[in-house]
Amino acid sequence: PVVAATGRNTTNTLTDFHARRKRTPLQSERELAIGEVIPGSRYRALAKLGEGGMGVVYAAEHVDIEKRVALKLLHADLLENQHVLQQFRQEARAASRIGNPYICDVTDWGEVADGRVFFVMEYLDGASLSREIKRCRRLPTDRAIPILRQVAKALGAAHQKGIVHLDVKPDNVLLIEKDGRRDYVKVVDFGIAGLLGQAGIGGKVMGTPEYMAPERTMGGGNDRRSDIYALGAMAYEMLAGEVPFQGLTAVETLAMHATDPPDPINERITKSIPKALEDVVMRMLEKDPLSRPQTMAEVEALLCEAQL
């Protein structure tokens, strides 16, 4: 299959979740007027937060209730691309449909005067998990396990609605402070989410090579166990300070996922982690989906046992 996969990025702010690649805006594409109400909407643009290959993200507020939100606006030149438009809508619908406290909520959908579409989501002030890994290199187990359990809850809720994320990675996990609690998880970016059991879109395998399950690299179906593998790769990185596989190219990395056994975490680090936790992560990274935990509920239960 054709692989439409991005390399690892080093995003480190809220805006980077929706601003993956630098892009030269079209001359004909107007930016929203800061401080003014978007015509035909109830939202006032406050600041441009970032820009990516699919759209621009603004901080905004609802003019009636003065609630701050984030607004993601699709690029004008993508409006004729039905696949991209479908993907953009899919991201909004998937997050809204799940309705889980550990998933960034989408609350509204609209259109500006030139036909560009946008969706509105909750405004979150925090750091990405990728930034924390970059800062700390390795997260201590007493911090890593609660984060992983929350991500498992979020993905489990998505799976129960028949949605797989398909791009689970540290860049798509935001850590915020809520009710005095740090490291409260918000999972974002369901832009390539698919239905359980659905194959790649248009014959393409989409995602990030460092976290992609072997069955996906070989064009297999996408089910909840693909997300479980990706969560295992993310857990490995949190605990070891590096991903299980990193080739010189994306294709080489995908091949390693398909054929190479991952090194045990404790062979890569000087200060070992509990064997019970290592066993959970290594089981999530099994090549055969049948050998992995079969649900996110099982993953969370295993993490609880390891934590105890």
Please say if 167 is a catalytic residue. yes
> Hey, what are 93's tokens?
């619908």
The residues, ordered by sequence, that sit 6+ positions from 70 with a Cβ below 8 Å of its Cβ are 14, 18, 49, 57, 58, 59, 60, 120, 121, 122, 123, 124
**CB environment 160-177: b (16+ within 10 A), e (fewer):** eeebbbbbbbbbbbbbbe
Helix (H), strand (E) at residue 228? helix 224-240
The residues, ordered by sequence, that sit 6+ positions from 142 with a Cβ below 8 Å of its Cβ are none
Q: What are phi and psi of 142, to 5 degrees?
A: -70, -10
Structure tokens at 8: 């690892």
Residues 6 or more apart whose CB falls under 8 angstroms from that of 253 comprise 209, 210, 245, 246, 247
Distance from C-alpha of 38 to C-alpha of 33, rounded to nearest angstrom? 8
Rounded to whole angstroms, the Cα distance separating 16 from 127 reads: 10
Residues 34 and 8: beta-carbon distance below 8 Å: no
Catalytic member of 64, 108, 142, 167: 167
Length of the chain: 308
CB 116 within 8 A of CB 56: no
Name every residue whose Cβ is closer than 8 Å to that of residue 293 and which is 6 or more positions away in sequence. 228, 283, 284, 299, 302
Residue appearing with tokens 């889980």: 100
Cβ atoms within 10 Å, residue 272: 11
Q: Catalytic residue numbers?
A: 167
